[in-house]
Amino acid sequence: MPVYQRRTRVAAPLERVWEFHSDISGLEALTPAWMNLEIVAVRGPDGDSDPDELVAGTEIEMSMRPFGVGPRQRWVSRILGREKDETTAWFRDDMAGGPFERWVHTHRFVADGDETIIDDRVAYELPFGPLGELAGVFGDVGFEPMFRERHRRTKAAVE
Number of compact structural domains in the chain = 1
- pLDDT of 50 reads 81
Residue 60 maps to a domain: no
Residue 68 maps to a domain: no
Burial class for 25, CB neighbours closer than 10 Å (0-12, 13-18, 19+): exposed
Predicted confidence band of residue 129 (pLDDT cuts 50, 70, 90): low
Burial class for 22, CB neighbours closer than 10 Å (0-12, 13-18, 19+): middle
Burial class for 145, CB neighbours closer than 10 Å (0-12, 13-18, 19+): exposed
Residue 55 maps to a domain: no
| Segment (H or E) for 136 | helix 129-136
Predicted confidence band of residue 52 (pLDDT cuts 50, 70, 90): confident
Mean pLDDT of 124-135: 64
Residue 7 maps to a domain: yes
Residue 64 maps to a domain: no
Residues 6+ apart with CB under 8 A from 26: 20, 157
Q: What is the CATH number of the domain that holds 92?
A: 3.30.530.20
Count CB atoms within 10 A of the CB of residue 120: 18
Residue 63 maps to a domain: no
Backbone angles phi, psi at 95, to 5 degrees: -95, 110
Each residue's pLDDT tens digit, 57-99: 999 999 999 889 989 999 999 999 999 999 999 999 999 999 8
Residues 6+ apart with CB under 8 A from 55: 44, 45, 79, 82
Residue 20 is part of which domain span?
3-31+79-158
Residue 119 maps to a domain: yes
d(CA 7, CA 127): 27
What are the DSSP E strand ranges found in 2-159? 3-10, 38-43, 59-64, 73-84, 88-97, 102-112, 115-125
Residue 102 maps to a domain: yes
- pLDDT of 134 reads 46
